[in-house]
Amino acid sequence: MHNPLALFTQEVLDALLAHGFTIFVRQSYSRGKDHFDSDIKEAFLFTAYKDIGEANQHFQYIRYDGRKYIYQVQRPEEYERLKIAAGQPAGYRNYVDKLAAKEWRPSAQMGTKIGNYIRAYTKWKARDSSISANLFLHYGELMLRLSNGNDEIKVKLSDVERL
């Protein structure tokens, strides 16, 4: 599974706090587990918010995730737990909802899968115009925005990867 997200570090935490983000939603993140690394027990994704209402919407969206949690930095014990998570404790991989690279470009293999998805699920013709693909997150779910210049669709990255 493709994992384009950056690790949650103390530097990232400090930068988010400096920009006014004070609420963090934690959720399970299976893409963050390297199945070849038996030392990793769990992987989590942290999404930062300035507004508790938006954080609560995210929390509702992931309501079935048994490992979900909302941290509020004004609570000293939760801030300390965030600092521990940002330190990448043994057995865990913690990621933040930011891409590791400034600009995401699909690999050749991913490009093939995107083409397969377009052929299977759209009526777009490759010769009509070039297809653009942009990666984004929606409540912790990696999504692709595919456009042929005239039309645009949003699809889960996992749906494209299956092809």
The closest of 2, 7, 30, 32 to 135, measured between CA atoms, is 2
Per-residue pLDDT, averaged over 69-80, amounts to 98
Over residues 40-66, the pLDDT tens digits come to 999 999 999 999 999 999 999 999 999
Residue 127 tokens read as 């010769």
Placement of tokens 């050749």 in the chain: 108
The amino acid at 115 = G
% of residues, the chain, pLDDT over 70: 97
CA distance 107 to 154: 19
* pLDDT value at residue 2: 77
For the entire predicted model, the pTM comes to 0.89
CA distance 122 to 1: 24
Helix, strand or coil for residue 18?
helix
Over residues 11-41, the pLDDT tens digits come to 999 999 999 999 999 999 999 887 777 889 9
